[in-house]
Structure 1
Amino acid sequence: MTPVNAPENPVTVVGIGADGWPGLPDSSRTALLAADVVLGGPRQLALLPADCAADRVPWPSPLRPAVPGLVAEHAGRRIAVLASGDPMFYGIGRTLTETLGAAAVHVLPHPSSVSYACARLGWPVEDTEVVTAVGRPVERLAAALHDGRRILVLSAGADTPAEVAALLTERGFGPSRMTVLEQLGAETESSYEDVARDWRTGPGDPLNVVAIICVRDADALRLGAVPGLPDAAYEHDGQLTKRHIRAATLAALAPAPGELLWDVGGGSGSIGVEWMRTHPTCRAYAVERDAERAARIERNAARLGVPGLTVVTGAAPAALAQLPSPDAVFIGGGLTAPGLLDTCWNALEPGGRLVANTVTLESEALLTTWYRRHGGDLTKLSVAHAVPVGGFTGWRQAMPVTQWSVTKPRNEAPLENRG
């Protein structure tokens, strides 16, 4: 993102805790007392004392698009911004530095709610998973659930603890112990705890953090941290890339943090879901022409902790026209649709990966042609499962899958990014 014109004086961003003015160091107090205008949320602005004489301007909603206009409106004045805790941890600091440029922003951090919570609980910060529900679906928590893990959920309000308890119980983590820590750092700080499946506590203070020690039900389906989740983890109608093929497919796609996938012919969405589960910053578009299956993909994504997966209902290649350029493409269906492979190949930036799976001879012939033209790896994947044969056991062969995987050469001119 290209920063807007930076103000003459840097914008000072001051982190403030629930303890308000008394908890601020001298440097933060000095910055606020010297400011001509202070921007912030109503709750933060109310924490300032009367002798802080700056004009107090509450943030509008939505916030991000308003930042350039607000800074321009107060050009030539000393601007301070109030933020909860550490402004660079899920805070306004990121928006300001991305919009104005890092040189135009001076950040004075305060301990974050995560630091306070870990201090109270005796949890090492580096070993604690953090999931935010502020402005994001609480379903994201599901991707972080593993037996024995410690998780902190940054709450969106007073109802978040009950939503977390319901999610844990529904996802097979009902025995998990939850601790709600309210008003961390303030004189009114308090906490209470219970097991998720027994949660009966009504809404408390909206300023809270939920701490979880994950305990999985003995009969709950185990979901690992790597691709190849059990097929039973998905709602499907048979259109599902099966577990072992899925693991091999994700290995070939090689997701990395921040990358974007097109999952073309989404089916049940398993490839896009497991791509996004590899890292919280991974993104995916699942393209599926059947509306019922598209709705099923959305349900699978929410259940498995990646509600941010975007489902596009439509037939490829036409449905791909307005999507941002991908880092990787998986084609799980519709390979013989006219122009599909050409569209996907042209959309990839140099260094991008394309993986296509098929079980039909017609599509296999097409992949063979593309393999001869562009190289890569052409692989036959076969899986057999042990099944009863009378009083004995034998192998039942699944349909073999032909997989073509290829990386677009870096010396090939990229298509103009349409995103």
Structure 2
Amino acid sequence: MAQWLTIIGIGEDGYGGLGQNAREALGRAETVFGGKRHLELLPSDIMAERIAWPMPFSDAYPMLRALRGQHVVVLASGDPMHFGMGATLTRFIEHDEMRILSAPSSFSLAAAAMGWPIQDLQLLSVHGRPVESLFKAFVPGARLLVLSNDGDTPAQVARMLSQSGFPSAHLTVLEHMGGGAEQRIEGVSGTWNHPRCADLNVLAVDCGVPTSSARAYSVLAGLPDEAFENDGQLTKRDIRAVTLAHLGPLPGELLWDVGAGCGSISIEWMRAHAACRALAIEANENRQGLILRNSRALGVPDLQIVCGGAPAALAGLAVPDAIFIGGGVTDEGVMQTCWQSLKPGGRLVANAVTIQSEVALVGWREVFGGDLTKLTVSHAQPLGSFDAWRAALPVTIYSVRKPD
């Protein structure tokens, strides 16, 4: 089908800042979709019907598809393909039916205003997303550009930085960039006392040097055990790092964390890449609360918690690319259901501490193949006036790839 939908990026300079191609598309349009603010930027001689985005926003998709074949324009802020409307619509409309006319993104304008090379920055958005996702980005010396959700976001981020041990982080709020109301507000997280900012803003953060007690962690597997609130049901750091190496998270993949405990495996899986997804399956209500708090504190608030025990709780879940079983390998039906649910080519990793669970993994390997690894970790601990090695319980790790 010919291109019938044109997505136009528009800035604070409004219609006057649009190029000739965008103006011609608007002149031909029969229908124009956009936010109320965007639609008000158009001159009166644009004769197309103007439709503000509905609530809930998902109602817009069938409305757009119903107009297929007409000349339709969608107005979006800045670059529609960077955290924007274009990126969303490509999931519902074929690319060859669309024409995308981009404007400078808010991030590009902010980087220019700050004099920061954009390739050295983390570009983040909390617009319609949990602000706790920023916790993962707070590391010494990091520079962040954050598309705010609203005018309260800068104060929220300042509090989060202070709580994380970054009270001297420098914040710059860039409001209405490129328009007549453009304004800049600056301050330090520990003493931030500015009133509510304009809803349309990008927040520039220079994390700087934290305090010695800052919660700043690598995205590599093996966070300190104390990073997780737990009740003792925790895959310990050294075992966790090796377990995640066997799981091998890749961008966009989905993990089932079966018997998730405090969520350490699924949280570290999601921290490996922003596109990694996970389902934490846990029957214990108290541990479900631990998973929720840990996921927020460690920057992956989108971790989904499935309340219930395996195998019953696994029915109907999205098909996983990888499965970790931290407990329950001897429970009837758990291993079988996980194996049947796993994608062809997917990875299954299971840990065992007891003799009975190890025997179950040995038996599974005899049938399906795979690798067995036994880890024994010792830590130096005081013994009188000296130190001695104290060995933790050995852990057997079974890993196997399902045939394609």
| TM-score for both structures, normalised by structure 1 | 0.94
Q: Map 1:315-326 to 2 at 5 A.
A: 315-326=309-320
Q: CA offset at residue 171 of structure 1? A: 1.9
Task: Specify the alignment match of 2:163 in structure 1.
Answer: 170
Tell me the SS of whatever aligns to 2:90: helix
User: 2:247 corresponds to which letter in structure 1?
Assistant: L
Task: Specify the alignment match of 1:207 in structure 2.
Answer: 200
Q: CA offset at residue 102 of structure 1? A: 0.1
Task: Specify the alignment match of 1:68 in structure 2.
Answer: 62
CA distance in 1, matches of 2:15, 2:369: 64
CA contact (8 A) 1:68 1:99 kept: no
Q: CA offset at residue 87 of structure 1? A: 0.8
| Matching of residue 14 in structure 1 with residue 8 in structure 2 | yes
CA distance in 1, matches of 2:367, 2:207: 50
CA distance in 2, matches of 1:65, 1:46: 22
| Matching of residue 47 in structure 1 with residue 47 in structure 2 | no
CA distance in 2, matches of 1:120, 1:185: 10
CA distance in 2, matches of 1:76, 1:347: 41
Q: Map 1:7-406 to 2 at 5 A.
A: 9-72=3-66, 74-215=67-208, 216-406=210-400
CA distance in 2, matches of 1:9, 1:351: 38
Tell me the SS of whatever aligns to 1:378: strand
Per-residue CA deviation, residues 280-322 of structure 1 (Å, 9 max, x unaligned), is 1110001111001011101000110000001111110100012
CA contact (8 A) 2:138 2:216 kept: no
CA distance in 2, matches of 1:12, 1:206: 26
Q: CA offset at residue 331 of structure 1? A: 0.3
Q: CA offset at residue 222 of structure 1? A: 3.8
User: 2:238 corresponds to which letter in structure 1?
Assistant: H
CA distance in 1, matches of 2:363, 2:356: 11
CA distance in 1, matches of 2:331, 2:231: 22
Tell me the SS of whatever aligns to 1:99: coil
CA contact (8 A) 1:154 1:208 kept: yes
User: 1:371 corresponds to which letter in structure 2?
Assistant: R
Tell me the SS of whatever aligns to 1:236: coil
CA contact (8 A) 2:3 2:99 kept: no
Q: CA offset at residue 98 of structure 1? A: 2.0
CA distance in 2, matches of 1:337, 1:121: 57
CA contact (8 A) 1:178 1:196 kept: yes
CA distance in 2, matches of 1:212, 1:343: 46
Q: CA offset at residue 223 of structure 1? A: 1.0
Q: CA offset at residue 77 of structure 1? A: 3.1
User: 1:174 corresponds to which letter in structure 2?
Assistant: P
CA contact (8 A) 1:96 1:105 kept: no
Q: CA offset at residue 23 of structure 1? A: 1.5
Task: Specify the alignment match of 2:401 in structure 1.
Answer: 407
Tell me the SS of whatever aligns to 1:174: coil
CA contact (8 A) 2:4 2:68 kept: no
Per-residue CA deviation, residues 128-165 of structure 1 (Å, 9 max, x unaligned), is 11111111100011112211111111111111111111
> How many pairs align?
403
Tell me the SS of whatever aligns to 1:158: coil
CA distance in 2, matches of 1:320, 1:407: 20
User: 2:56 corresponds to which letter in structure 1?
Assistant: P
Q: CA offset at residue 34 of structure 1? A: 2.1
CA contact (8 A) 2:173 2:204 kept: yes
1:222–1:55 distance in 2 versus 1, CA, 3 Å: closer
Q: CA offset at residue 357 of structure 1? A: 0.7
Q: CA offset at residue 75 of structure 1? A: 4.7
CA contact (8 A) 1:182 1:190 kept: yes
CA distance in 1, matches of 2:266, 2:348: 14
Q: CA offset at residue 65 of structure 1? A: 4.0
Unaligned runs of 5+ in 2: none
CA contact (8 A) 1:84 1:91 kept: yes
Tell me the SS of whatever aligns to 1:279: coil
Moved more, 173-182 or 361-370: 173-182
CA distance in 2, matches of 1:193, 1:42: 29
Per-residue CA deviation, residues 221-248 of structure 1 (Å, 9 max, x unaligned), is 4411201001111100111001111000
1:223–1:68 distance in 2 versus 1, CA, 3 Å: same
Tell me the SS of whatever aligns to 1:323: coil
CA contact (8 A) 1:64 1:95 kept: no
Task: Specify the alignment match of 1:415 in structure 2.
Answer: none
CA distance in 2, matches of 1:103, 1:48: 27
Q: Percent identity?
A: 51
User: 1:181 corresponds to which letter in structure 2?
Assistant: L
Tell me the SS of whatever aligns to 1:330: strand
Q: CA offset at residue 27 of structure 1? A: 1.6
